[in-house]
Amino acid sequence: MPLEWAGSSPELLLVLDRTGGLPLRAQLECRLRDAIRTGRLQAGERLPSSRELARTLGLSRGLVQECYAQLQAEGYLVTRGGSATRVAAGAVAVPALACPSAQAPRLVADFRWGVPDLGSFPVDDWLWATREAARAMPTAALDYGDPRGSAALREVLAGYLRRVRAAAADPERIVVCNGYAQGLGLALRALADDGVRSVAFEDPGSPATTAAAAAAAGLSAVPVPVDEHGVDVRALAATGARAVVVTPAHQWPTGVVLAPERRLALIEWARRRDAFVIEDDYDAEFRYDREPVGALQGLAPDRVISIGTVSKSLAPALRIGWLLCPPPLAEPVAQQKQLSDRGSPTLDQLALARLIESGRFDRHLRRSRATYAARRAALLDALAAHAPGVTVTGLAAGFHAVAHLHTGADEHRLSTAARERSVGLYGMNRCRASHVDAPAQLVLGFGNVGERAITEGIAAVGDLLAGRS
């Protein structure tokens, strides 16, 4: 799509050589032809006025007008009375393209995990919050500001986390970041500077994300098994690590809740080992069959770094997250953020603060819970109808479930066969450090799949899930 300019003439970079022997008009014609032929100037795109281009290049206006007239005669430009000079349609040479690969077929249902209902993003509320934030934003807020993030957002987040997550939240110990991945990287780099040499993570969990962040911080990453009570603290103690990444409220991806005795044992391990727990509080807003579980950070604010984001509650594209740090790590993490990018976008932070303050964020969460509860029910109904032998766990919260397949099932073959039926299924092996698929399980994300698509998708692959094919 060509650029549209309102009012003022668009700028155009052209370089002329006044030391050579080629006349300036010939040079100008050549530069404009090349810009059009290569696609630098696209069909329909407006050129500067002859007066403006002459002023910019230090030429006479008559010379530029003659150049435009010549290129118009050659079919490169079009000019209409009272309108700007533009690149003629068909004048831009289209480069030869490589044969495109066959496009992936459109899926009836894609049970990709970790994606919320993108269609329910509260566009009107976000636009309102952005306008309100921009209108009230002081001029000083347009400066680089505090690398920890907007003081207004940190104050609002502290209140929200105390209210909703029972966290021991102090705005002075909150650092705003660009999502979970950056938050984890900042925390691990700060810990590495503090002498930590290895970080443990839950298995199954997020091995690729944790390993990449650990490697970037110069740390080794060690898997620790998870059972029906959560992370195995005894196994953790045997690793010698001084940091661990956990998802205690709704373990990713098994869905188990860290048992109370394990919570206490984990905190005791951290204090005894002079270690830190990195809590990924990724989807605690969404629960169905149980009471909400408070953040682990509330039990041990001196030992837990809690990372939260709006990627699941609003949308991943916003890239807004935060770290709630223990007192000794608040400044080191802020310094890492300063070195990383000098701070996250202020206007978006102020918009989020306004969204939460106004109550519109809570209203959006209530709507989302109802949506996910309906999709969860649709998934259970579809599995009961088309694959009744498949056990499903991890559904008490969040928007994914774990389907336990029959003995001998092959996750990769099943996913491949499902893809041939236009259904996206994803194996648990991608969440395991060893990448093995025993026992065979699928992680079924239903956050961004409508109820009808869920029903049709499970119907299409029910025999595969049940082992009847």
What local confidence, expressed as pLDDT, does residue 359 receive?
97
Write the CATH number of the domain with boundaries 109-114+366-466.
3.90.1150.10
Mean pLDDT by 10 residues, the chain (469 residues): 54 88 90 91 91 93 93 90 83 53 76 96 98 96 95 98 95 98 98 97 96 97 97 98 96 95 98 97 80 90 98 97 98 98 96 98 96 96 96 92 93 96 96 90 97 98 90
Cβ pair 165, 284 in contact under 8 A: yes
Map tokens 């661990």 to a residue.
Answer: 244
- Beta-bridged to residue 203, according to DSSP, are 225
CA 144 to chain centroid, in Å, comes to 23
Which among 164, 200, 121, 211 has a CA at the least distance from the CA of 308? 164
Radius of gyration for the alpha carbons in the chain, expressed in angstroms and rounded: 29
Please tell me the predicted confidence (pLDDT) of residue 80: 76
Q: What is the DSSP letter of 256?
A: P
Please give the Cα distance from 380 to 458 (Å, whole number).
10
Task: Provide the pLDDT for residue 205.
Answer: 97
pLDDT score, position 152:
97
Please state the domain extents for the chain: 24-87, 109-114+366-466, 123-358
Q: Please give the structure tokens belonging to residue 402.
A: 């774990």
CA distance 182 to 340: 9
Q: Which residue has the tokens 């929200």?
A: 160
Residues 87, 12: Cα–Cα separation, whole Å: 13
- Asked if CATH classification 1.10.10.10 holds for the domain at 24-87, the reply, yes or no, is yes
What global pTM score does this model have? 0.86
The CATH architecture that domain 123-358 belongs to is 3-Layer(aba) Sandwich (3.40)
Instruction: Identify the pLDDT of residue 103.
Output: 58
